[in-house]
Chains A and B, each alone.
Chain A
Amino acid sequence: MEAKRDGEAGGLLEVRGLTKIFGALTACDRIDLSIGRGEIHALLGENGAGKSTFVKMLFGALEPAAGTIEWKGERVSIPTPGAARRLGIGMVFQHFSLFEALTAAENIMLSLDEKAPIMQIAERARELSKAYGLPLDPFAHVGDLSVGERQRIEIIRCLLQKPDLIILDEPTSVLTPQEADKLFETLETLRDEGKSILYISHRLEEVKRLCDRATVLRHGKVVGHCDPRQETAASLARMMVGNDVEAVKRPADSAGAHETLLEVTGLNRPAANPFAVPLRDINLSLRAGAVLGIAGVAGNGQGELFEALSGEALQDVAAAVRIRGKAAGRLSISGRRLLGAAFVPEERLGHGAAPYMRLSENLLLSRHATDGKTLLGPLGTVRNGALTAAAERIVTAMDVRMSGANPEAAALSGGNLQKFIIGRELDRQPAVLIVNQPTWGVDAGAAARIRQALIDLARSGSAVLVISQDLDELFEISDAIAVMHDGRLSSPLPIAEATFERIGLLMGGAAPEHHVGEAVETA
Chain B
Amino acid sequence: MRLELVKRPQRSALFSTISPLIALVLTMAAGAIMFSVLGKNPLDALYYYFIDPLRETWSLHELAVKAAPLILIAVGLSVCFLSNNWNIGAEGQFIAGAIAGGILPVVFPDFQNGLVLPLMLLMGFAGGAAYAAVPAFLKARFNTNEILTSLMLVYVAQLFLDWLVRGPWRDPGGMNFPETRDFHAFAILPELMPSAGRAHWGIVFAIVAALVLWFVLRKTLTGFEIRVLGQSPRAGRFAGFSAPRMVMIAFLISGGLAGLAGISEVAGAIGQLQPSISPGYGFTAIIVAFLGRLNPLGIVAAGFVLALSYLGGEAAQISIGLSDKAARAFQGMLLFFVLGCDTLIHYRIRLAGRAPTARGEAAQNV
Q: Which residues of A contact B219 (CB under 8 A)?
A: 381-382
Q: Which residues of A contact B239 (CB under 8 A)?
A: 333, 364-366, 368
CB-based contact A337/B360 at 8 Å: no
CB-based contact A379/B220 at 8 Å: yes
> What 0/1 pattern do residues 93 to 122 of A give for CB contact below 8 A with B?
100010000000000001111000000000
A353 vs B235: C-alpha distance when bound (angstroms): 6
Q: Which residues of A contact B236 (CB under 8 A)?
A: 354
CB-based contact B359/A110 at 8 Å: yes
CB-based contact B238/A352 at 8 Å: yes
Known A-B contacts A80-B357, A82-B360, A357-B227; the reply to A97 vs B366 at CB < 8 A is: yes
> What 0/1 pattern do residues 321 to 341 of A give for CB contact below 8 A with B?
000000000001110010000
CB-based contact B232/A354 at 8 Å: yes
Q: Which residues of A contact B353 (CB under 8 A)?
A: 79-80
B363 in the interface (beta carbon within 8 A): yes
Closest CB in chain B relative to A362 CB, distance in Å: 8
Closest CB in chain B relative to A14 CB, distance in Å: 24
B231 in the interface (beta carbon within 8 A): yes
B10 in the interface (beta carbon within 8 A): yes
Closest CB in chain B relative to A206 CB, distance in Å: 25
Q: Which residues of A contact B227 (CB under 8 A)?
A: 357
Chain B: CB-nearest residue to A348: B235
CB-based contact A111/B221 at 8 Å: no
> What 0/1 pattern do residues 75 to 100 of A give for CB contact below 8 A with B?
00001111101000001010001000
> What 0/1 pattern do residues 344 to 373 of A give for CB contact below 8 A with B?
010100111111110001001110110000
Number of interface residues of A (CB under 8 A): 44
A376 vs B361: C-alpha distance when bound (angstroms): 47
Closest CB in chain B relative to A82 CB, distance in Å: 3
Chain A: CB-nearest residue to B10: A23
Closest CB in chain A relative to B270 CB, distance in Å: 37
A420 in the interface (beta carbon within 8 A): no
Q: Which residues of B contact A365 (CB under 8 A)?
A: 228, 235, 238-239
Closest CB in chain A relative to B253 CB, distance in Å: 15
Closest CB in chain A relative to B81 CB, distance in Å: 15
Closest CB in chain B relative to A118 CB, distance in Å: 15
CB-based contact A382/B365 at 8 Å: no
Q: Which residues of A contact B364 (CB under 8 A)?
A: 81, 91, 93, 97, 111
> What 0/1 pattern do residues 212 to 247 of B give for CB contact below 8 A with A?
000000011110100110011011111110000000
B356 in the interface (beta carbon within 8 A): yes
Selected from B9, B222, B240, B363, the residue in CB contact (under 8 A) with A333 is: B240
A381 vs B234: C-alpha distance when bound (angstroms): 23
Q: Which residues of B contact A376 (CB under 8 A)?
A: 221
Contact residues, B341-366 vs A (CB, 8 A): 352-354, 356-361, 363-366
Q: Which residues of B contact A351 (CB under 8 A)?
A: 232, 234-235, 238
CB-based contact B365/A364 at 8 Å: no
> What 0/1 pattern do residues 235 to 268 of B give for CB contact below 8 A with A?
1111110000000000000000000000000000
Selected from A22, A81, A332, A357, the residue in CB contact (under 8 A) with B365 is: A81
A380 in the interface (beta carbon within 8 A): yes
Chain B: CB-nearest residue to A60: B361
CB-based contact B220/A381 at 8 Å: yes
Counting contact residues on chain B (CB < 8 A from A), the size range is 20 to 34
Chain B: CB-nearest residue to A85: B360
Closest CB in chain A relative to B256 CB, distance in Å: 19
CB-based contact B220/A334 at 8 Å: no
> What 0/1 pattern do residues 277 to 320 of A give for CB contact below 8 A with B?
00000000000000000000000000000000010100000000
CB-based contact A354/B240 at 8 Å: no
CB-based contact B238/A111 at 8 Å: no
A394 vs B229: C-alpha distance when bound (angstroms): 24
A83 vs B364: C-alpha distance when bound (angstroms): 13
Chain B: CB-nearest residue to A112: B360
Main secondary structure of the interface of B (DSSP, over half): helix
CB-based contact A354/B228 at 8 Å: yes
CB-based contact B235/A380 at 8 Å: no
CB-based contact B232/A82 at 8 Å: no
Q: Which residues of B contact A381 (CB under 8 A)?
A: 219-221
A83 vs B232: C-alpha distance when bound (angstroms): 35
CB-based contact B360/A333 at 8 Å: no
Chain B: CB-nearest residue to A154: B364
Closest CB in chain A relative to B349 CB, distance in Å: 15
CB-based contact A350/B220 at 8 Å: no
A313 vs B268: C-alpha distance when bound (angstroms): 49
Chain B: CB-nearest residue to A366: B239
A79 vs B6: C-alpha distance when bound (angstroms): 14
Closest CB in chain A relative to B199 CB, distance in Å: 31
A82 vs B240: C-alpha distance when bound (angstroms): 43
Selected from B9, B228, B232, B366, the residue in CB contact (under 8 A) with A22 is: B9
- Among B236, B240, B352, the most chain A Cβ lie within 10 Å of the Cβ of B240
CB-based contact A352/B360 at 8 Å: no
A51 vs B10: C-alpha distance when bound (angstroms): 21
CB-based contact A352/B356 at 8 Å: no
CB-based contact B238/A355 at 8 Å: no
> What 0/1 pattern do residues 419 to 433 of A give for CB contact below 8 A with B?
000000000000000
Q: Which residues of B contact A369 (CB under 8 A)?
A: 240
A239 in the interface (beta carbon within 8 A): no
Q: Which residues of B contact A361 (CB under 8 A)?
A: 224
Selected from B232, B238, B357, B363, the residue in CB contact (under 8 A) with A312 is: B238
A248 in the interface (beta carbon within 8 A): no
A54 in the interface (beta carbon within 8 A): no
CB-based contact B234/A350 at 8 Å: yes
A111 vs B366: C-alpha distance when bound (angstroms): 12
CB-based contact A380/B222 at 8 Å: yes
A110 vs B362: C-alpha distance when bound (angstroms): 10
A380 vs B224: C-alpha distance when bound (angstroms): 10
Closest CB in chain B relative to A214 CB, distance in Å: 26
CB-based contact B224/A382 at 8 Å: yes
Chain B: CB-nearest residue to A23: B10
A61 in the interface (beta carbon within 8 A): yes
- Among B232, B237, B238, B239, the most chain A Cβ lie within 10 Å of the Cβ of B238
A199 in the interface (beta carbon within 8 A): no
Q: Which residues of B contact A379 (CB under 8 A)?
A: 220
Closest CB in chain A relative to B244 CB, distance in Å: 13
Known A-B contacts A343-B238, A382-B224; the reply to A113 vs B357 at CB < 8 A is: yes
Q: Which residues of B contact A382 (CB under 8 A)?
A: 219-221, 224
Q: Which residues of B contact A81 (CB under 8 A)?
A: 357, 360-361, 364-365
Chain B: CB-nearest residue to A99: B363
A384 vs B309: C-alpha distance when bound (angstroms): 39
Closest CB in chain A relative to B18 CB, distance in Å: 20
Q: Which residues of B contact A91 (CB under 8 A)?
A: 364
Q: Which residues of B contact A334 (CB under 8 A)?
A: 240
A334 vs B235: C-alpha distance when bound (angstroms): 13
Known A-B contacts A61-B365, A81-B360, A111-B360; the reply to A354 vs B221 at CB < 8 A is: no
Q: Which residues of A contact B240 (CB under 8 A)?
A: 332-334, 337, 368-369
CB-based contact B366/A354 at 8 Å: no
A354 vs B356: C-alpha distance when bound (angstroms): 36
Chain B: CB-nearest residue to A312: B237
Pairs A–B under 8 Å by Cβ, sample size 19: A22-B9, A82-B360, A83-B357, A85-B360, A91-B364, A97-B366, A110-B359, A111-B360, A112-B360, A334-B240, A350-B235, A351-B232, A351-B238, A355-B232, A357-B227, A366-B239, A368-B224, A368-B240, A382-B224
Apart from A80-B357, A333-B240, A356-B231, what are 6 other A-B pairs with CB-CB below 8 Å? Answer: A110-B363, A111-B360, A368-B239, A380-B221, A380-B222, A382-B224
Q: Across chains A and B, which 9 residue pairs bring their CB atoms closest together, nearest first?
A: A82-B357, A334-B240, A97-B366, A354-B235, A365-B239, A380-B220, A354-B232, A333-B240, A380-B221
